[in-house]
Amino acid sequence: MKALVFEEFGGPEVLQYKDIPDPIIKEKELLVRMNVIGLNFADIYRRRGDYHLQGKAPYILGYEGSGIVEQVGKHVTHFKIGDRVGFADVPFANAELVAVPKEKAIPLPENISFEVASSVLLQGLTAQYLTKDSYEIKDGDTVLIHAASGGVGQNLIQICKQLGGKVIGLTSSMEKSKTALSLGANHVFLYKEEWVKKVKEVTDELGVNVVYDSVGSTLKSSLEALKVGGTVVFFGMSGGNPSSVDPRILMDTSKTLTGGDLWNVLTSYEERKTRSQQLFDWITKGKLNITKPTIFRLERGSEAHELLESRKSIGKILLKP
């Protein structure tokens, strides 16, 4: 099979499109012929050597995608050959064929396309658990969302709005702020502005109930933007490592700092099926709109990495074998 691989850490130029052996599935796995693969910042971090990688070189990136079941292990009962499936947390996805553990495969309804599934599973499931498990949005909450035009940010805006929240978004450009506003954000501020001051102004100096911070380096400012008793949910470091937080600040203002990780939530086949079904229901009912993705052929993966790394893209970037 063909796959996008690399043998040493570095920039997009280390990626190679080449033939490697087909995966051999185990008794509890499916062999999926990939239709579309989701590209995420985690792939960039792994390519650079910032994240742990399974196996040994040549390394294969990718954890998200969708396709058609081509073979099933003898202990697989939920799926059969020809089924449409997706996944959010299966390694080695940048290939024509992927071995998918049966508990990690997500059945796709006929009205959910491969492109939509591969655009929403990882980031949509992230936004879902952030608004339900990390901090459950309540009617009337004021929410501050970092990187509001990004994949998770776009989903967060729409989910928070349908749960009754008032949304303030943060973006890096006017073009991106227009995207956030079009999805329902009440206010959007730029990072180059004095955004903590502006957040306080539109909340009558009280601050927000919750901040969803995926940037990391902004953590101190996120805490400043909170109201007394508010919560910061820290779930990413796209802008660099956060500074240390003195717990006395939390005590003095009754604020909460909590972390979030999708892998602590997707613990079973039933969890994946139930949570993804809610996403699919929102999409089919028009409550969650997915921005049209940018699609690259898998062999042009280095170009896709360059675009994502430039932070100029809006919406999901997909790879197609």
pTM of the model: 0.92
Q: What percent of the chain has pLDDT over 70?
A: 100
Residues 113, 118, 122, 126, CA torsion sign: negative
CA distance 120 to 122: 6
Q: What dotted CATH number matches 139-259? A: 3.40.50.720
Q: What is the mean pLDDT of residues 234-244?
A: 87
The backbone torsions φ and ψ at residue 82, rounded to the nearest 5 degrees and listed phi first, read: 100, -15
pLDDT confidence of residue 53 = 74
Model confidence at 290, in pLDDT bands (50, 70, 90)? very high
pLDDT in tens, 179-227: 999 999 999 999 999 999 999 999 999 999 999 999 999 999 999 999 9
- Give me the pLDDT at residue 274, please: 96
pLDDT level of residue 171 (50, 70, 90 thresholds): very high
pLDDT (mean) for 174-178 = 94
Which of 294, 219, 227, 292 has its CA nearest to residue 257? 219
pLDDT of residue 259: 93
* CA 71/CA 73 separation, integer angstroms: 7
* Edge-to-edge strand ranges of the sheet holding 187-190: 187-190, 166-171, 142-145, 208-213, 226-234, 256-259
What does 210-264 look like in DSSP terms, one character per residue? EEEE-SSTTHHHHHHTEEEEEEEEE---TT-PPPP--HHHHHHHT-EEEE--GGG
Per-residue confidence (pLDDT) for residue 315, from 0 to 100: 80
pLDDT at 309 over 90: no
Average pLDDT over all residues of the chain? 95
**Domain extent listing, the chain:** 2-120+266-320, 139-259
Residue 162 CB coordination number (10 Å): 15
| DSSP 8-state class, residue 38 | E
- pLDDT, residue 41, reads 86
Arch. (CATH architecture) of 2-120+266-320: Alpha-Beta Complex (3.90)
- pLDDT recorded at residue 45: 86
Q: Left (φ > 0), alpha (ψ -120 to 50) or beta: where does 192 sit?
A: alpha
The DSSP string of 169-221 is EEESSHHHHHHHHHTT-SEEEETTS-HHHHHHHHTTTS-EEEEEE-SSTTHHH
What confidence tens digit (pLDDT) does each residue in 18-66 have? 999 999 999 999 999 999 999 998 899 899 988 777 778 899 999 999 9
Phi–psi pair at 285, nearest 5 degrees: -90, 0
**The pLDDT of residue 310:** 86
Where is pLDDT greater, at 241 or 7? 7
Lowest mean pLDDT among 45-54, 151-160, 245-254: 45-54
Residue 293 has pLDDT above 80, yes or no: yes
